[in-house]
């Protein structure tokens, strides 16, 4: 449900009102590692931060499919240790040892499909906003705000990575079409 709501908030569905967009994220887990090598199973190992990984992958798939978006979503995981230290992108074992962790999704306004609409959502600017926030465990307000601060800084770096990897594909496809 969280993934669905996050993706619905960034997709512009009013451009093609009589169409449906389906995003299927498939994760199959196996407790038996002795499957034959010719088995056709998609095996995903949950090494932590599964929701942010799914959000980032789904956003990349939407861009690849040419779905109009308000902006891209950049998702990260931020955890808080007992001593107050903030960890970014913890693995599953680290997540389980932390007193709390948070999945944060920020808008990436620098890579937008429709630039004229990318800075507005419902008439309000989203330049410093947050799309989704999911927390597990108990953390103080100061710890949460520190996670937001660190998450925003990391999302800027991830946005730069997205720009470098999405723009060349978009420009090469448009030159092939013309």
Q: What is the DSSP string of the chain?
A: -HHHHHHHHHB--SSSTT---------B--S-----TT----B----S-HHHHHHHHHHHHHHHHT--BSSEEEEEEEEE-TTS-EEES--HHHHHHSSEEEEEEEEETTS-SSGGGTTEETTEE-TT--SEEEEEE---HHHHHHHHHHHHHHHHHHHHHHHHHHHHHHHHHHHHH-
Domain with 53 in it: what CATH number?
3.30.230.70
Residue 146's pLDDT is: 93
Residue 167, number of CB atoms within 10 A of its CB: 11
Residue 109's pLDDT is: 62
Look at the chain and report how many structural domains it folds into: 1
In the Cβ-directed half-sphere of 55, how many Cα atoms lie within 13 Å?
Answer: 31
pLDDT band for 161, please (50, 70, 90 cuts).
confident
Residue 124's pLDDT is: 45
Residue 67's pLDDT is: 85
Dist. CA 160–CA 154, nearest whole Å: 10
pLDDT band for 110, please (50, 70, 90 cuts).
low
Closest CA to 126 of 8, 16, 3, 10: 10
pLDDT higher than 60, residue 44: no
Cα separation values, 88 from 45, 64, 105, 142, 159, Å? 19, 27, 13, 16, 16
Q: What is the pTM of this model?
A: 0.74
* pLDDT one-digit tens code per residue, 47-75: 778 889 888 888 888 888 888 888 888 99
* pLDDT one-digit tens code per residue, 3-21: 889 988 888 888 888 888 8
* pLDDT one-digit tens code per residue, 112-138: 444 344 444 444 445 458 899 999 999
In the Cβ-directed half-sphere of 40, how many Cα atoms lie within 13 Å?
Answer: 0
Taking all residues of the chain, what is their mean pLDDT, rounded to a whole number? Answer: 76
| Domain extent at residue 78 | 2-177
Which residue carries 């960034």 as its tokens? 10
pLDDT band for 172, please (50, 70, 90 cuts).
low
pLDDT band for 32, please (50, 70, 90 cuts).
very low
Take residue 112 and report the two structure tokens written for it. Answer: 């937008």
């Amino acid at each position: 449900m969280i993934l669905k709501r996050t993706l619905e908030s960034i997709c512009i569905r009013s451009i093609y009102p009589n169409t449906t967009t389906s995003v299927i994220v498939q994760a199959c887990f196996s407790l038996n590692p002795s499957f034959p090598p010719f088995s056709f199973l998609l095996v995903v190992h949950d090494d932590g931060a599964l929701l942010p990984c799914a959000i980032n992958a789904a956003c990349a798939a939407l861009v690849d499919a040419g779905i109009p978006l308000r902006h891209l979503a950049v998702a990260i995981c931020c955890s808080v240790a007992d001593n107050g230290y903030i960890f970014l992108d913890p693995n599953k074992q680290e997540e389980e040892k932390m007193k709390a962790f948070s999945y944060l999704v920020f808008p990436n306004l620098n890579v937008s499909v429709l630039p004229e609409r990318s800075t507005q959502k419902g008439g309000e600017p989203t330049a410093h906003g947050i799309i989704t926030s999911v927390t597990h465990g108990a953390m103080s307000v100061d710890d949460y705000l520190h996670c937001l601060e660190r998450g925003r800084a990391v999302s800027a770096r991830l946005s730069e990575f997205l720009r470098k990897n999405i723009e060349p594909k978009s420009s090469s496809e448009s030159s092939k079409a013309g």
